[in-house]
Amino acid sequence: MSTGRLRRRSSLHSLWRIRSYVRPYAHQMLLMTAAAGIAVGASIVVPLITRSVVDGPISHGDRSGLVPLGLLALALGVLEAGLVFVRRWVQSYAALGMETALRDDLYAKLQGLPVAFHDKWQTGQLLSRATTDLSTIRRFLSFGLVFLIINIATFVTVIALLVHLYAPLAVLVAAAAVPLFLISRNLSKAYLDTSRRVQDQQGDLATLVEESAVGVRVIRSFGRRDHVGHQFRSGARTLHDSAVDKATLVARFWSLFDLVPSVTLGGVLLLGSLAVTEDAMSLGDLVAFVSLMLMLVWPIESLGWILANAQEAMTAADRVYDVFDTESEIVDRPGAVDVGAAEGHLRFEGVGFSYASSSHPVLRRVDLEVRPGETLAIVGVTGSGKTTLTSLVPRLYDVTAGRITLDGRDIRDIRLTSLRRLVSSAFEDATLFSSSVRDNLTLGHSDASEDEVSEALEIAQATFVHDLPWGLDTRIGEQGLSLSGGQRQRLALARAVLGRPSVLVLDDPLSALDVHTESLVEEALRRVLSRTTALLVVHRPSTVALADRVALLEHGTITAVGTHSELMETLPSYRAVLSQHAEEVTAR
């Protein structure tokens, strides 16, 4: 959705920038070009040997003269085969190396870009850059670029030889190359368009299948099976039609591809025979001429493809550099310092925030203080900005007004790596990855010791993991074991407390829990909270009791701060928010 908004540079420029990835493989690229060049050269010599065979041993009936020429032709054939092997081998090595380096950098860049970037870009857009676009670039670098040079060189050399053999016929061949090239160019363009359409439709269909698998419960319970089935059939039909279009296109052009060389060949044979009978050329010349001429068909035909591929690679390079050129706004400020440990004194000072996608501020003039060791709960109606507020502390987004301080220091003056070690978060949805329990736990602290892991599990009441089939090495997530909502929450809590963060930010860690599990997790939370400064978003009155003080967030600003009982007594709006949530819970 956002690609249109991005600035467009010249495509050639983006492709040129890829050279830094090509440079480490410069030797291989040269070797590839040399191998391809020599192989083509060897194959060009063979018709000339044939000419000598026809005009020498054959026309003079001299059998002994055949042997050396025959052996030479054989040797050239073997040489060519060997060189083709070398080229392909080097090509795969170099091309895959370049693609991997590019993809690694792209992935690292994506990981470094702020959350706001991912809000703006669709996952599919990023995925296609990391896969299809990079493959297109690889194809061009490994194949297109080399053969662009080789094919043009072949064309020039062969035409020169043809002129040498018999100039009038050479002109005919050169003229026939023009329509052949144009056909190839048009076909490539049309083919690429259709291919892209087929690819898009395949993607759409895959999305449909994925969504209906993920949403199978919703689809069943709302009785939408027929509707989804219909959607799938119509998507599959469109895909089928496009694939047939593609096949028809290829069939139509392929016959033209055969027609032009065949007609030219007919003309050359006819005029060539006349020339031979009139002694304008020898029989050997004619044989060599025809063989050489047939060697031109593939380079000319493929030139159209290569140019189309080059164009595609330019667009792909543009799309990839769109991502590389996105500046990360959330970076270390000049002079930012490493902070080893913090007391945990968190202050919001006149904080304002609006998302880039809308000018309407979500937070306005938020002043808030969480003293070391204290737990402050944030309460507010849905959409009041609670999640937004909490995401400012680990700098998932930066404040657009005011500042947030930790122990009196603006968090933007603390290096990001430090800040994210000091501040630990758990969000509403308790995201776990398809990996082992241990990997999920030590996500932010890969160096955590066994004791630290056990302690974190203990505190978060997540010791159930020891009873899993393979303990901490059990895989969870899509291809592994499913955990219940409560188990996921407790695991996410354990992850958050691992490494003893100075500040804990918990966004509604008890959402999606039934009452029984809730009490388990609440107990876990109580222990977690007793150890650190905490900012805790809560919905339920029972969880509010865990906090020392509560702040009421209304329309993006803090309207009251006090203990739970104070606010209950004095503020009807506070009572309203909590009872609304209580009703929501009962309704569930």
Give the binding site for ligand ATP (CB under 6 A): 119, 355, 357-358, 362, 380, 382-388
Q: Cα(106)–Cα(331) distance, rounded to whole angstroms?
A: 18
Size of the site for Mg ion (CB under 5 A): 1
Q: Please tell me the chain's helix, strand, coil percentages from 3-state DSSP, rounded to the nearest 5.
A: 65, 10, 25
The smaller minimum CB distance to ligand ATP, of residues 445 and 539, is found at 539
**CA distances (Å), origin 34, targets 43, 90, 144, 280:** 14, 11, 15, 36
Terminal Cα-to-Cα distance of the chain (whole angstroms): 35
SS3 48: helix
* Residue 384 interacts with, from ligand ATP, Mg ion, none (CB under 5-8 Å by kind): ligand ATP
Check: CB of residue 271 under 8 Å from CB of residue 172: yes
The smaller minimum CB distance to ligand ATP, of residues 386 and 412, is found at 386
Structure tokens at 365: 């003039």
* Closest separation in Å from C-beta 553 to Mg ion: 11
* Closest separation in Å from C-beta 89 to ligand ATP: 48
* Residue 328 interacts with, from ligand ATP, Mg ion, none (CB under 5-8 Å by kind): none
CA atoms within 13 A on the CB side of 335: 3
DSSP state of 408: T
* Residue 255 interacts with, from ligand ATP, Mg ion, none (CB under 5-8 Å by kind): none
* Residue 382 interacts with, from Mg ion, ligand ATP, none (CB under 5-8 Å by kind): ligand ATP
The smaller minimum CB distance to ligand ATP, of residues 268 and 362, is found at 362
* Closest separation in Å from C-beta 353 to ligand ATP: 9
Q: Which residue has the tokens 């009936």?
A: 61
* Closest separation in Å from C-beta 428 to Mg ion: 6
Q: Which residues contact 487 (CB under 8 A, 6 or more apart)?
A: 462, 464
The smaller minimum CB distance to ligand ATP, of residues 90 and 392, is found at 392
* Closest separation in Å from C-beta 507 to Mg ion: 6
- Concatenating the DSSP letter of every residue in 387-406 gives HHHHHTTTTSS--SEEEEEE
Q: Cα(266)–Cα(295) distance, rounded to whole angstroms?
A: 16
Kind and range of the H or E run holding 232 = helix 225-277
Residue nearest to ligand ATP (CB): 387
* Closest separation in Å from C-beta 508 to Mg ion: 6
- Concatenating the DSSP letter of every residue in 463-489 gives GGGGGSTTGGG-EESTTSB---HHHHH
* Closest separation in Å from C-beta 349 to Mg ion: 23
* Closest separation in Å from C-beta 509 to Mg ion: 12
The smaller minimum CB distance to Mg ion, of residues 56 and 485, is found at 485
* Residue 70 interacts with, from ligand ATP, Mg ion, none (CB under 5-8 Å by kind): none
| Bridge partners for 549 per DSSP | 376
* Closest separation in Å from C-beta 506 to ligand ATP: 13
Q: Cα(366)–Cα(389) distance, rounded to whole angstroms?
A: 9
The smaller minimum CB distance to Mg ion, of residues 374 and 428, is found at 428
* Residue 329 interacts with, from ligand ATP, Mg ion, none (CB under 5-8 Å by kind): none
Q: Cα(154)–Cα(156) distance, rounded to whole angstroms?
A: 6
The smaller minimum CB distance to ligand ATP, of residues 22 and 381, is found at 381
Structure tokens at 330: 């959330």
The smaller minimum CB distance to ligand ATP, of residues 358 and 482, is found at 358
Check: CB of residue 140 under 8 Å from CB of residue 309: yes
* Contact stretch for Mg ion (CB under 5 A) within 121-129, 359-367, 380-388, 455-463: 380-388
Per-residue x/- mask for Mg ion, residues 527 to 566, rule CB under 5 A? ----------------------------------------
The smaller minimum CB distance to ligand ATP, of residues 122 and 131, is found at 122
Q: Does 387 bind Mg ion (CB under 5 A)?
A: yes
| Bridge partners for 376 per DSSP | 535, 549
Q: Does 326 bind Mg ion (CB under 5 A)?
A: no
Residues that bind Mg ion (CB under 5 A): 387
